[in-house]
A and B are shown apart, each in its own frame.
Chain A
């Protein structure tokens, strides 16, 4: 099936909107200041290498350049990578183990100094091999990288330990800002509180806890960009505030995504003054049983839990109130590695006949001696979509005679309970940036490999399967291995219960042009191509 068609099947709406955006190619207007909301409280630091929260990214991405990125013209693609600082996407050599990048020689930092390969190398070293006392949350993504070299000022070479399809998408990580080598060497913590990049906007002001603003970088190396004179981003954790702000035009857009009710409200009151873009989101909800607690050590009980959930009928209804949409397996639906509907229907919990599925669930429970089981679902006290999904699941499980109570706790206690294994079954999410299935499924590996897996299980066979898949560069074979892996994780072993993919809905003021939605709110946030039709 052609790539584009597959995309359309996965996210019809996204294609429709992307199509119409392409059709209406208008001459961009220059000038103006974009005000947008960041749906979070201010992040702990401004350092993209150190933080994992989008709050840091949405606040600082416009100030920085990256080596490569998802094509900003085609951000819904999962495979279309283009250069930002480099001049041409390289063909790997040495059986896919060496990537050589030539850098654009015209790039200047905002302080007027030239950006060279030394800056790129030291920035990536900061991420991949952080010095003592420096935190790099995405360090494990780059386990394939042996070293980064800068043979001359305009060349950067990545040498890999083994060839893998996971490398390029990982390299396109939007958090991988290029910092100035000199500054990093002087104080590796400097970027936590300061900004100095080479991106489309220069840092203007940071009002602690409230807003951050930037002004146009006149020396930006992508000719003609950016269109805006400047931007102002305002932090607002409360959804009502953000929706009200867009409604009253205090802000034009919020890039992360709003639930369906907010879209409907804005559309209803403002009509075509509001434009909506929607896309499947590279984030999803999952449920992890605690394999150290009885009776969840019994695979039959874990399978019964997933068999009881009527995803095909429940999700379309749930999608009217929660930001969830597509029923899928563990791979992002628009990725070439994702399961087709036919493949999916073979997996436990995705059977087309829910009655048959629930009968099997009851049979398994009876066999395991766990009929009328009562347990607690640990959940995070966040509305979208944790609370909705959790409340829905409790109801679904009641249909096979399970008595489930929900325990909602704030983020800290939720993480601590998971880490200590003090839960029966926990509701979680897996939210990633650039779709990179090989890394995105890492969290389903046992804790001995992926420390943030809290399922308390060991499964050497699963790990071996994963390692084979990681090193497989032939896409067809890789896909077959992924099917095997998927079946093991959510069916035969049922270590995880994959529930549903989220849905990104961005309603915004129609005068905002030049922005296209992507499968992740981490991608494409440098604002360079945005312009205002006012």
Chain B
């Protein structure tokens, strides 16, 4: 697999307050990565840093094998980005904004633009300032998808969308990612969205990617364990994130389910119940 985004030792601080600390991340072609993190964890900062929108203090970032701050026009044309906050020129009409952006790209799908404009009922003659936040978000998504990019970066893409708009947007992304060449990175708070489209999950906490794995493996591995003993005894649970003892047993949440340890428990006739967890609970446990 080709590495599309490679981040090594990324450090960034705002007013002497560290936001990202020696952060490492590798994203491969075809990955659909959901970036989870609490408010203020640095998700937007990370995405902006990847694209050189925000300056970094130190570290190395490469996109499509090129240094992030010296991307060629060819590479830039392969990137689609939807920012969290809209900074488009507010007095431009939707049509003018689309035409303005179109002139920069050699490849531009008018069909996709027409289809999405129609489906999302966006008035082309309206000025950006006259649109609701949800409609602006939709326009930004259209602008990001129109040049048929190979790397899509969304910063909280569904934050301003209503449920129908969110569903439609996710459907669009699902259709896109069926093409194996497309890589998507998106930050979100809505874990259900992530579960629907992502194949990998990255959790950003305390300035670092504290967890990065396949979504399915995550769901299999991060589980709640209940250990039932015959008498009061303390059992060491591997990869324990958080544990609680009760009479003749223990509850615990592990970041990785150790099969060898499970077999060992069975041999010792200690009953261990494994309960799968939802992604929201997993996220809360990982960042607790």
Judge: A and B partners, yes or no: no
Interface residues of A (CB under 8 A from B): none
B interface residues (Cβ-Cβ under 8 A, vs A): none
